[in-house]
C-alpha cells in the first residue's frame, strides 16, 4: 500500500481548476468571517496556514484577507505550480508533510484543513499536528467528506467509501485505472469523536451553510440552489448523517493536551 498520495494534483486535475478552487476559497473566507463576526473579533488579521494547499489557488485568494498566508503540501509538483503562479507578496508555499508540519508550535492564528483528512496515512497524527501549530486562541477551518456519501467524490463510484478496503480495492481496479482505494473517510460521529480525542471543541457550520447557500457561496448550480431553498432547515438537521460534506470551525478546548 502507498504511504501517501504524493502526486495527487497530477492524478486529480480538479485540484488545479481555478474557477472551482476560487469558489471553495470564497466559502472558506465567508465561514471564517461569519465565525469572527459572531465573536466580535476579526480572525483574518493574523497568520494563516493552508494544509494540503495543492496548487495554491485557495491560499492565494486568502492572502487578500490575512497579514500573511503559507501554503503547505507534500505534492512537489503542485507546490511548483503554486510558486510559479503566485503574485502575492504576503503569500508563500512550502513542500511539507502534514504528518510532521515544518513549523514551530503555536505559529498560526488560522489553519485551513479542507478535505485533507481522508488522504493522509494517519488522521490522528494530522490532528495532533494541527493542534500543535495552532495558537492558543486560534481557529481551524476543517472541511470533511462523509463516509456515507452515495457517490464517492474522487472516483464518482456509488457506495465506494462504504465498503471494506479489500472489496473497495477490487471495485477500484474494475472500474478505474487505479490499483487500490487509498482514501479513508469517517462518519459524522467518528469525526466528532476525533475532535474530542485531540483536544478540540467544534462549531458545526454545515446546516447553517445549507440553509443560507448564497451567503456562504456554496454553489453556482441553479437546480441545487432551488433544492436548498425549498428544503426546510429542520429536514437537513434530521438527515445530518447523510449530508456529503461537513464544515467545522475548531478551537483548542484547553491550553495544553494531556
- Whether residues 141 and 211 share a domain: the answer is yes
- Condensed to tens digits (0 to 9), the pLDDT of residues 11-37 reads 777 777 878 899 999 999 999 999 987
- Whether residues 35 and 73 share a domain: the answer is yes
Answer yes or no: is 224 within a domain: yes
Lookup: cell for 178: 487505479
**3-state SS assignment for residue 214:** coil
- Whether residues 172 and 196 share a domain: the answer is no
- Whether residues 52 and 168 share a domain: the answer is no
CA 135/CA 182 separation, integer angstroms: 31
Q: Where are the alpha helices (DSSP H) in the chain?
A: 8-11, 18-38, 57-62, 76-85, 123-133, 165-175, 188-197, 206-211, 222-230, 233-238
Sites in the chain below the pLDDT cut of 50? 1, 40, 258
Answer yes or no: is 3 within a domain: no
DSSP 54: T
Residue 244: give the domain boundaries: 8-149+185-252
- Whether residues 17 and 39 share a domain: the answer is yes
Answer yes or no: is 167 within a domain: yes
Is there a contact between 114 and 155 (Cβ–Cβ < 8 Å)? no
Answer yes or no: is 257 within a domain: no
- Whether residues 133 and 243 share a domain: the answer is yes
Answer yes or no: is 2 within a domain: no
Task: Report the number of distinct structural domains present in the chain.
Answer: 2
- Whether residues 243 and 142 share a domain: the answer is yes
Q: What is the pLDDT of residue 17?
A: 82
Can you give the CATH number for the domain in which 52 is found? 3.40.50.150
- Whether residues 206 and 218 share a domain: the answer is yes
Answer yes or no: is 111 within a domain: yes
DSSP 242: G
- Whether residues 168 and 226 share a domain: the answer is no
Answer yes or no: is 218 within a domain: yes
Lookup: cell for 158: 456509488
Give the strands of the sheet with 245-252, arranged side by side: 91-95, 68-73, 47-51, 108-114, 134-145, 245-252, 200-204
**Alpha carbon distances (Å) from 148 to 25, 144, 204:** 25, 12, 18
Q: What is the pLDDT of residue 166?
A: 95
Amino acid at each position: 500500500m502507498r504511504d501517501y498520495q504524493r502526486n495527487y494534483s497530477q492524478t486529480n486535475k480538479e485540484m488545479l481548476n481555478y474557477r472551482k478552487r476560487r469558489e471553495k476559497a470564497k466559502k472558506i473566507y465567508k465561514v471564517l468571517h461569519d465565525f469572527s463576526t459572531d465573536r466580535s473579533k476579526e480572525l483574518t488579521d493574523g497568520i494563516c496556514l493552508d494544509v494540503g494547499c495543492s496548487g495554491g489557488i485557495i491560499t492565494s485568494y486568502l492572502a487578500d484577507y490575512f497579514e500573511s498566508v503559507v501554503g503547505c503540501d507534500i505534492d512537489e509538483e503542485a507546490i511548483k505550480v503554486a510558486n510559479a503562479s503566485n503574485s502575492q507578496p504576503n503569500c508563500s508555499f512550502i513542500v511539507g508533510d502534514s504528518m510532521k508540519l515544518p513549523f514551530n508550535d503555536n505559529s498560526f492564528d488560522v489553519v485551513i484543513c479542507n478535505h485533507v483528512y481522508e488522504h493522509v496515512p494517519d488522521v490522528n497524527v494530522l490532528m495532533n499536528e494541527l493542534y500543535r501549530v495552532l495558537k492558543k486562541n486560534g481557529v481551524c477551518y476543517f472541511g470533511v467528506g462523509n463516509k456515507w456519501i452515495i457517490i464517492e467524490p474522487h472516483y464518482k463510484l456509488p457506495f465506494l467509501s462504504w465498503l471494506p478496503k479489500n472489496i473497495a480495492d477490487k471495485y477500484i481496479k474494475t472500474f478505474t485505472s487505479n490499483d487500490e482505494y487509498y482514501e479513508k473517510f469517517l462518519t459524522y460521529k467518528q469525526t466528532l469523536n476525533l475532535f474530542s480525542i485531540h483536544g478540540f471543541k467544534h462549531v458545526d457550520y454545515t446546516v447553517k451553510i445549507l440553509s443560507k447557500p448564497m451567503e456562504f457561496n456554496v454553489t453556482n448550480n441553479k437546480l441545487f440552489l432551488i433544492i436548498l431553498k425549498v428544503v426546510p432547515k429542520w429536514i437537513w438537521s434530521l438527515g445530518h448523517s447523510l449530508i456529503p460534506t461537513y464544515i467545522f470551525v475548531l478551537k483548542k478546548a484547553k491550553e495544553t493536551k494531556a
